[in-house]
Amino acid sequence: ILDLSQAMLDKINIPGAELVCDDARSMDKIEDVSVDVVLCSLCLHHISGSTYKKSCENMRNVIVSAKKS
């Protein structure tokens, strides 16, 4: 689970969940092709312009099924 707010992550109690405090605009702490699902909720409307496109590219890059052959 990725959130920009450590305070929000501290409220999560899901056994086995990896909690990552990072920005969806960079996602530097998540390796490419390392997650099965990306669910983006309540954040994209805060991102605009070229940063929006980069955020979407970052989300695609971390998804395992997006691995290029």
pLDDT in tens, 7-59: 999 999 999 999 999 988 888 899 999 988 888 888 888 888 889 998 999 99
Neighbouring residues of 34: CB distance < 8 A, sequence distance ≥ 6:
62, 64
User: What's the pTM value of the predicted model, to 2 decimals?
Assistant: 0.74
pLDDT above 70: residue 63: yes
- Dist CA 66 CA 33 (whole Å): 7
Which residue bears the tokens 């920009």? Answer: 4
- Dist CA 12 CA 26 (whole Å): 22
